[in-house]
Amino acid sequence: MGHSIDTLQRIGVKIFLAEAPSLDRIVLAFHRWIQNGSVDGMLIDVADYSHVPEGPGVVLVAHEGNYALDLTGGRPGLLYYRKQPIDGDLTERVRAVAAVALRAADALERDAEVEGAICGDAVQFFANDRLAAPNDAETEAAFQPALDAVLERMFAGAPRKQCRNQDPRERFNVDVLADKGANAATLLARLT
């Protein structure tokens, strides 16, 4: 049975942080982002899930996609996942979503009220659509060319390792660790 990965729209990227910043400061930062239009999209509201252990942390709800300071798996990161359709082939969509996530990571790094920086070498790509992209080897094989094209640019050809969580109960996701990282602005400049 072939998957419809070419129709995948609900793509997400999590850019890992060296350490979790104060979630109270993230709530304030996300509110500032709404007021200042600091990140892409029609920004709507902030939801605080800090009471959920290793959960979504703090979510900035937007029409096109949601941002979060995510704590899932005990690995803090700035997450963005697309909710609305986006133009282009799969490679262009993955690149566009990664660019939105990196613009937000850059905004987070530049925010004087928030302590902590991105790792710059660790990222996770995921699909928030189990029908178009079930978590299996066939999806991984179909997704890999788009992922390779984006990662090659993002990490400027640096060697990298990747690993897919193979639990079929989990959404499709691939963790990537590059041998050489960079700050969010540099990673973004390579993609755009």
DSSP 88-134: S-HHHHHHHHHHHHHHHHHHHHH-TTS---EEEEEEEEEES-TTTS-
Q: Are 109 and 183 in contact (CB under 8 A)?
A: yes
CB atoms within 10 A of CB 179: 10
Q: What is the DSSP letter of 136?
A: S
Q: State yes or no: pLDDT of 2 exceeds 60.
A: no
Sign of CA dihedral 75, 76, 77, 78: positive
Mean pLDDT of 57-78: 95
Give 116 or 55, the one with higher predicted confidence.
Answer: 55
Determine which of 5-14, 117-126, 167-176 has the lowest per-residue pLDDT on average. 117-126
Place of tokens 């239009």: 37
CB atoms within 10 A of CB 36: 10
Q: How many domains does the chain have?
A: 1
Share of the chain above pLDDT 90, in %: 81
Q: In the prediction, which pLDDT does 6 show?
A: 85
Give 2 or 164, the one with higher predicted confidence.
Answer: 164
Give 122 or 2, the one with higher predicted confidence.
Answer: 122
Write the pLDDT tens digit of every residue in 3-23: 678 889 999 999 999 888 899
Q: State yes or no: pLDDT of 115 exceeds 80.
A: no
Range of the domain at 33: 5-191
Q: State yes or no: pLDDT of 58 exceeds 90.
A: yes
> What is the Cα–Cα distance from 28 to 23, expressed in whole angstroms?
9
- Kindly report the pTM of this predicted structure: 0.94
